[in-house]
Amino acid sequence: MVAFEEQVDRLAEAAPSVLTRALRRGGTFAEVFVEQSVRHQGTMVWDDGRLRDPPEVTRDTFSGASVRVLDGAEGGFAIADAITPTALRTAAEDAAAQGPGRGAARSVPTLTQRLLHLDVPADAPDTAASSEKAALLQAAVGAARLFDDRVQRVEAAYQDRVRRVAIATSDGAFAAHAQVLVGLRVEVTLAGSGDPVTAHAVAGGPGGLGLFFDVPPEHVARDAVERARRRAEARPLPAGTMPVVLAAGWGGVWLHEAVGHALEADVSPHAHRLDEQVAPSFVKLVDDPTHPGGRGTQPVDDEGSATTPTTLIADGRLQALLADRRHAARLGLPRTASARRQDAHHAPLPRMTNLILEPGDAAPDDLIAAVRDGLYVRAIGHGTTRPDGDFTFDVLDGARIEQGRLTHPVADVRIVGQGLGTLQQIAGLGTDGHLDAARGVCEKAGQVVPVSVGMPTVLLKDMQVVPA
C-alpha cells in the first residue's frame, strides 16, 4: 500500500475538486473519506494433552475510499474503486447522481481547517514481527496449563488493528487521525466433578504491544483459570426479583445495550422525552469520545467534526440523543459529532464511543452490605436487546449476596429488564468508576466498531433473575 501520509497529501490536493463534483446538483454537505488499516490475528489451542497447531499470526490489510453528499436528511453515497483523484471524482459523480438533485451547484475552493493526529506508539503492532505476537500466545497457553492440573483445554487468541483515516468536507475541514488497538483473550476449560466448565479473561486496549508488559499474558491466563474455578464451584440461585450489584468497569455493557442504543438518534423512540426524568437525580450518563485511553476515543468523528463529550442524562433527566448530520437534520436535533462507520466502504451512523456512568459517593463494599439477599455480578456476558427495549444478559461470573456478604459462586443465570426504565432501579453508585478498554465491540446495522464502557459499582434494587 502507498504510505498513508502520501494518501493524505493527495487527498488534500484533490478534495476541493472532488467535493465540488459531489455538490454539482446541489446539497448542504459533502465529504470524502479515505482509510488504510492493518490487522493481525492469531490463535493457539492446547487440547487434551497436545498442541493442536503451532501459533500462526495472519495479516490483513484494507484500503478504501468513499464520497457522500447530503441535502438535509437525504443524500447519496458511492465507493471509489481506488484511492486516486480520478476514482474519487468518479465516486463524487455517482454520489451526486443518487442525491435528490435540488438546489444550485456549490464550489469548494479551499480546505481551511486542518486537524492531523497521525502519530502512533513506537511499539505499534503493524511494525512488530509476527514472532512477538506468537510469543504472547505461547506464554498464555503455557501459563494456563500450570495454574491448575484440571485444565483440559486452553485457547489463546490475539488481535490488533492500526487504522488511519482522513476526511475532507465541504465545510472546509480536513482531518486525519490514527487508532491503534491490541487485544489478548484466553479461554480455559476445567474438568470438575460434573461437566467441564469454561471461562475466559481478556487484556489489551488502545496502544502498542507494551500494554502486555503492564498486563502480561500469564496474568490473563491466571484470571481465566480463577474464573473457571469459581464456575466449577457455583451453586444454583433461586429465580426471582432481587437486588443486583454490578461490578465497576465492564458492567457498563449493561448500559450500552439496554440504554445507550435507545439514545442513538437513528433508532431512538425517545426524542420527545428530552428533559424528562428518566433516572434518579444522582445519575449522570455521558458518551465521551475524548476520554483518554478509550476504545472509542477519536479526535474527530467520521464526518470530520471535532468530538466533544455528550451528556445524555444529567440529574436523572434526559438531555440529548447521539446524532450525526443526517439524523440531526431529520429530527431537528443538535449534532453531537457521533457519526461512526466500520470502514470507508460504509456510510456513517450515530454510534456510541465510550459510554460512562459517572461515579457516586458510596463505598462499593457498603452497596454489597446493604443487600440482604441478592446477586453480585463480576462479569456480564452475552446479551440481547429487542427493539422494544427488553433485554437479557448472561452472568459469566457472579456470587450470591446473603446478609450483606458474598457467599457462594453463582452461574447459569440471566438478568432481565426493560431498557431506559431500568435506570429507575439504580439505588446507589460507588466511588470506584473506571473505564474498561480491554474489550468492547458493537455491531449495529451490519457495522462493527470498537467501544468502551465504564461505570462504578452499581446497586440495582429490583431486577428479575432467571435461569440461563
Q: How many other C-beta atoms lie within 10 A of the C-beta of residue 272? A: 7
Q: What's the pTM value of the predicted model, to 2 decimals?
A: 0.95
Asked if 414 and 393 touch (Cβ cutoff 8 Å), the reply is: yes
- Same domain membership, residue 118 and residue 36: yes
How many angstroms separate the Cα of 34 from the Cα of each of 2, 161, 345?
12, 16, 9
Predicted local distance difference test score (pLDDT) of residue 390 = 83
How many angstroms separate the Cα of 217 from the Cα of each of 204, 225, 421?
10, 12, 40
Asked if 306 and 266 touch (Cβ cutoff 8 Å), the reply is: no
Choose among 379, 386, 294: nearest CA to 340: 294
Predicted local distance difference test score (pLDDT) of residue 1 = 64
CATH of the domain at 111: 3.30.2290.10
Predicted local distance difference test score (pLDDT) of residue 112 = 85
C-alpha cell at 96: 451526486
- Same domain membership, residue 333 and residue 211: no
Asked if 231 and 199 touch (Cβ cutoff 8 Å), the reply is: yes
Q: Which amino acid is at 409?
A: P
Q: Which amino acid is at 281?
A: S
- 147/139 Cα distance (integer angstroms): 12
The domain total for the chain is 2
CB neighbour burial string for 301-336, b if at least 16 within 10 angstroms, e if fewer: bbbbbebebbbbbbebbbbbbbbbbbbbbeeebebb
- Same domain membership, residue 255 and residue 361: yes
- 307/389 Cα distance (integer angstroms): 28
Query: What is the Cβ-side half-sphere exposure of residue 329, based on CA atoms within 13 angstroms?
Result: 11
- 262/465 Cα distance (integer angstroms): 22
C-alpha cell at 149: 492440573
Predicted local distance difference test score (pLDDT) of residue 120 = 94
The region, left, alpha or beta by phi > 0 then psi within -120 to 50, assigned to residue 266 is alpha
C-alpha cell at 362: 458510596
- Same domain membership, residue 282 and residue 172: no
- Same domain membership, residue 145 and residue 62: yes
Question: Domain range spanning residue 205?
Answer: 4-232
- Same domain membership, residue 185 and residue 136: yes
- Same domain membership, residue 317 and residue 295: yes
3-state secondary structure (DSSP) of residue 386: coil
- Same domain membership, residue 444 and residue 399: yes
- Same domain membership, residue 212 and residue 338: no
- 392/395 Cα distance (integer angstroms): 10
Please report, in tens digits, the pLDDT of each residue of the chain (468 residues total).
Answer: 678 988 899 899 999 999 999 999 999 999 999 999 999 999 999 998 888 878 889 999 999 999 999 999 999 999 999 999 999 999 999 999 998 877 888 888 888 888 899 999 999 999 999 999 999 999 999 999 999 999 999 999 999 999 999 999 999 999 999 999 999 999 999 997 778 999 999 999 999 999 999 999 999 999 999 999 999 999 989 999 999 999 999 999 999 988 999 999 999 989 889 999 999 999 999 999 999 999 999 999 999 999 999 999 999 999 999 999 999 999 999 999 999 999 999 999 999 999 999 999 999 999 999 999 999 999 998 777 777 778 889 999 999 999 999 999 998 899 999 889 999 999 999 999 999 999 999 999 999 999 999 999 999 999 999 998
- Same domain membership, residue 180 and residue 129: yes
The domain boundary, picked from 232, 259, 292, lies at 232
The domain boundary, picked from 232, 264, 289, lies at 232
The domain boundary, picked from 202, 232, 262, lies at 232
- Same domain membership, residue 251 and residue 223: no
3-state secondary structure (DSSP) of residue 291: coil
3-state secondary structure (DSSP) of residue 216: coil
- Same domain membership, residue 191 and residue 263: no
Place of cell 465507493: 79
Predicted local distance difference test score (pLDDT) of residue 336 = 97
